[in-house]
Chains A and B, each alone.
Chain A
Amino acid sequence: MRTYQGEFTIEKPRSQVWAFVTNPHQMGPCIPDLIELNVESENRFRTLVKVGIGPIRGKFDLTSELTVEEPGRSASLSIRGGGMGSGVDMKAAMELSDTDGGTLLKWRCDTVISGPIASLGGRLIDGEARKITEKVFANLKTALLSAPDEEALAAEGDASAADEAAAAEAEEGTTAVKDV
């Protein structure tokens, strides 16, 4: 199992951040290289994403399920699925707290990867995983910051505008640490 974690601050009120991260329609598009998003219910969505690690390239079919632990404060996301003969099992936890001028988002992700991705791409996984998580949160930040304050909940959450440059800019403050 590999564990990645980090934290960052967003200059938006906690309620708005919470509404965003618990809405699959808004969170889903923050996933980089997203091909398809199917929201099955308000806490369950399926995504088809493009993956390339080392010599392995193809599509992952992932099912994500959101569990709210303490409304407005903490939630967890379980992501399972795979593709190209590989499997992925992730448990991500988020915790929001108020901080000066915005919201502090702490996250931790326990990941179990199996199959050729783990064995062939083994040496490249950590770097790749860091890049992907950084992109997710960069996209999230961009989407949140560009959303109008009042209509946050109604926003379409189209983060496709979050291009690489914006992602790179928003990167600072995100750290990924491998524990195991």
Chain B
Amino acid sequence: MALRQTELRPLGKPVGRKEDPRLIRGKGRYVDDIMLPNMLHLCVVRSPYAHARIRRIDASAALAAPGVKLVLTGEDLAKMNLAWMPTLAGDRQMVLATEKVLFQYQEVAAVVAETRAQAEDAAQLIEVDYEPLPVVVDPFYALSPEAPILRDDKEKKSNLIFHWEAGDREETEAIFREAPVVVKQDVRFPRVHPSPLEPCGCVADYDTARSKLTFYVTSQAPHAHRTVLALVSGLPEHQIHVISPDVGGGFGNKVPVYPGYVCAIVASLKLGVPVKWIETRTENIASTHFARDYHMTAEIAAREDGKVLALRVKTVADHGAFDGAADPSKFPAGLFSIVTGSYDFKAAFVEVDGVHTNKPPGGVAYRCSFRVTEAAYLIERVMDVLARRLGMDPAELRMRNFIRKEQFPYRSPTGWVYDSGDYEKTLTLALERIGYEELRREQAERRARGEFMGIGISTFTEIVGAGPSHTFDILGLKMFDSAQIRVHPTGKVIARLGVRHQGQGHETTFAQIIAEELGLTVDDVLIEEGDTDTAPYGLGTYASRSTPTAGGAAALCARRIRQKARKIAAHLLEVGEDDVVWDGTAFSVQGLPGRSVTMKDVAFAAYTNVPEGLEPGLEASYYYDPPNLTFPNGAYIAVVDIDKGTGAVKVRRFLAVDDCGTVINPMIVEGQVHGGLTEGFAIAFMQDIPYDADGNCLAPNWMDYLVPTALDTPHWETDRTVTPSPHHPIGAKGVGESPNVGSPAAFVNAVVDALSPLGVEHIDMPIYPWKVWSILRAHGVTE
């Protein structure tokens, strides 16, 4: 416990995580740990076909099986008006399939039995008579006129979900017509899965006597889930109690409402006992929401000296059978329009087509603010293509095109207002720390010897803190966030927040913010989240929004407490309120340094000795609607060596320099960066969810969908610059996603750089050794 922090002014210090003693010792309490009397278990029956008509479902054998209490089909749900439910993108999704299935592993029926094993055995006995239909897996084919229309329930008879544009088409076209240099590149960001360690699950417990539903669920957004459940089920919202206990990782995967949740609730309502549903790993990968799956084409118009002028982007986004993408409703392609990145483009035009295919629905913000990862990857890849075309060093090209620090607040050609940044400083630090000049010299020497060494740079701008209510909502719910602080008489604090962490260290981070604002220690503050009966309404934790939104709410709520505390302090100090000063640890009298009272003194007085006319007690709540998003940035450099014999890529060094504004806890920031880099590494080199022509998911397990272990993971070097956000109460910007957003491009740029002597301009992720080996062999480098 060497890192235990008890001093005052804890902000910016590496305070040991308050949640770790519980989580590391296996004392966390997850949904699957919940055992209730008479609890039954639910198992979902899933479609083996990607596209098929359901002719008949015969559940009689399953109903007769040992321990079985209930079998639910789409027809049962239809009677309760629950066969369909809304998705996050405002589409509708089948809870249990009726008439036809649209993707493999789609939910077709649910079996409830006394034990999980009985439910699974009985699920095998359900006979479903399918008539296979033609399968559409390619989104480009889905857009062609000969493709079968997948969604006959929709009014518009087409597989096109939406066409979305941002920027100025005419201005962009005009620049492209005149531009001396134009580069173009097709880039694919594969379909990947967040794969949290704990899959999704729930326990639905409907109390018939009190008409109250208690719903334990692996949720990143318990309040939003409660509202959606109320809208779907017809139960009044105050009779739904959502509890999100410890959650073993979310990464966007635990934001949506899944059919299994609805089935468990219906089963509990019908049977009057608790019903548990916990996914298997295969169900998690093959049916819950995926991420990415963007087919992108970018063109840059530039001058011969490297100055970029305009950007043109065309994208096809595969959203699967239902549009379940987690994007604010104003942005069908999320924040993809930040694709101009860190560079000062005069003009840009971005278009995205969302398409239905016979694949699972989704498109979650996997450690990414709604499609920023795709955007950052694209621009960083294509900037390298431009550098190569011009014969220019990629670092130099970036330096020439950065938005200058005096240009902030900067309005991008697609309409975003970047709050602050100093991109040159971040990249300069990265280049110095990695020894860039020296590495390039080494590379030239190795190339002369026929070796393949690559250096990849990615200088990205993130856009996080989804919140400003004028532009952001999910299903119409505005994305502010909230905090409620109560100071007890002894000066101990309980603070409740509307977000819900899944391992990010909120219990420590928010305690630091509140302790800092109130002049208390981190140990004085207890943070509670995830219980809708006690926490104030909030939109949850994803898209790196916790610190920018709930962190702002916590700071402002604490300041509200301090305002009242000042009145009480003035009373205790027997001076006028205007004479009281706060020095960060105590209240004192202006010009009289000897006399002071601490927050603890004030807290006691709040319950024992308040001035006349002042309400007793010391508590406040704050709903923070941020004025703008925050824009963290970073400069990442990867150094790789390629084994000529096997095509294996070894990441020799990786340096991440992040600028996430004010740092609350450097240790937690570093941990977030390590985790995000490891995920970015996995995406660049290992992960993809492929489908065969029949729509079979070919990687629905951790044998085929790889998750890096400590042995696979490179050593990470980190550093930072600090450019506080000018509009955030404490200047923090958020960091959780940056490493996942910024790193794939650095890895791929490094591999392409290594292979550039062979004329290679681009390789699509994941960069499996066989891909590299095939290139080497095609060029006669290896046999």
Binding site for B on A (CB under 8 A): 1, 58, 82-87, 89, 112-116, 118-120, 122-123, 180
Contacts and interface: CB of A to CB of B under 8 A. Distances in A.
B130 A119 contact: no
B124 A84 contact: yes
A114 B701 contact: no
14 contacts: A1-B693, A84-B124, A87-B48, A87-B49, A87-B132, A112-B132, A114-B49, A115-B49, A115-B696, A118-B696, A119-B104, A119-B697, A122-B696, A122-B698
Contacts of A87: 48-49, 130, 132
B125 to A, nearest CB: 10
B48 A115 contact: yes
B700 A114 contact: no
Given A86-B48, A89-B132, A119 B698 contact: yes
B282 A82 contact: no
A57 to B, nearest CB: 12
A82 B124 CA distance: 11
Top-10 shortest CB links A-B: A115-B48, A118-B696, A114-B48, A87-B48, A119-B697, A119-B700, A119-B696, A86-B48, A114-B49, A122-B698
B282 A120 contact: yes
B48 A120 contact: no
Contacts of A85: 45-46, 48, 123-124
Residue among A1, A112, A119, A180 with max Cβ neighbours from chain B (10 Å): A119
A53 to B, nearest CB: 13
Interface in B117-162: 123-124, 130, 132
A71 B378 CA distance: 61
Given A82-B48, A122-B704, 12 more contacts: A87-B130, A87-B132, A113-B696, A114-B49, A114-B50, A114-B132, A114-B696, A118-B48, A118-B692, A118-B698, A119-B104, A122-B696
Contacts of B701: 120
Contacts of A114: 48-50, 104, 132, 694-696
A83 B695 CA distance: 18
Contacts of A118: 48, 692, 694, 696, 698
Chain B interface size band reads 20 to 34
Contacts of B124: 58, 83-85
Residue among B123, B286, B696, B701 with max Cβ neighbours from chain A (10 Å): B696
A82 B693 CA distance: 19
Contacts of A115: 47-49, 104, 696
B48 A1 contact: no
Interface in B35-57: 45-50
A49 B137 CA distance: 31
A112 B135 CA distance: 12
Interface in B697-729: 697-701, 704
Contacts of B123: 85
Contacts of B697: 119
Nearest to A122: B698
A35 B48 CA distance: 23
Nearest to B108: A85
A116 B123 CA distance: 14
B658 to A, nearest CB: 38
Chain B interface, >50% SS class: loop
Nearest to B701: A120
A86 B699 CA distance: 16
Interface in B660-718: 692-701, 704
Contacts of A58: 124
A86 B45 CA distance: 11
A120 B700 contact: yes
A1 B698 contact: no
A120 B703 CA distance: 9
A7 B443 CA distance: 56
A180 B694 CA distance: 12
Residue among A85, A113, A180 with max Cβ neighbours from chain B (10 Å): A85
A122 B103 CA distance: 17
Contacts of B704: 122-123
Interface in B313-329: none
Contacts of B700: 116, 119-120
Residue among A89, A120, A123, A180 with max Cβ neighbours from chain B (10 Å): A120
Contacts of B48: 82, 85-87, 114-116, 118
Contacts of A119: 104, 282, 286, 696-700
A84 to B, nearest CB: 6
A116 B694 CA distance: 13
A89 B135 CA distance: 15
Contacts of B693: 1, 180
A9 B697 CA distance: 39
Interface in B254-282: 282
Contacts of A122: 692, 696, 698, 704
B131 to A, nearest CB: 11
Contacts of B104: 114-115, 119
Contacts of A82: 48
Nearest to B691: A119
Contacts of A89: 132
Nearest to A59: B124
Contacts of B699: 119
A111 to B, nearest CB: 10
Interface string B6-49: 00000000000000000000000000000000000000011111
B691 to A, nearest CB: 9
A127 B49 CA distance: 22
Interface in B98-127: 104, 123-124
B60 to A, nearest CB: 16
A180 B692 CA distance: 10
A106 to B, nearest CB: 26
A8 B582 CA distance: 94
Contacts of B45: 85
A94 to B, nearest CB: 24
A146 to B, nearest CB: 37
B280 to A, nearest CB: 10
Residue among A1, A89, A112, A180 with max Cβ neighbours from chain B (10 Å): A112
Nearest to A54: B703
B694 A112 contact: yes
Contacts of A1: 693-694
A135 to B, nearest CB: 24
Nearest to B285: A119
B357 to A, nearest CB: 16
Contacts of B695: 114
Nearest to B126: A85
A116 B704 CA distance: 13
B138 to A, nearest CB: 15
B133 to A, nearest CB: 12
Contacts of B50: 114
Contacts of B694: 1, 112-114, 118
Contacts of A86: 48
Nearest to A118: B696
A113 B698 CA distance: 12
A122 B701 CA distance: 11
B697 to A, nearest CB: 5
A177 B212 CA distance: 61
Contacts of B47: 115
Nearest to A112: B694
B251 to A, nearest CB: 22
Given A84-B124, A122-B698, A123-B704, A116 B49 contact: no
A142 B704 CA distance: 39
Contacts of A113: 694, 696
A112 B697 CA distance: 14
B340 to A, nearest CB: 39
A36 to B, nearest CB: 16
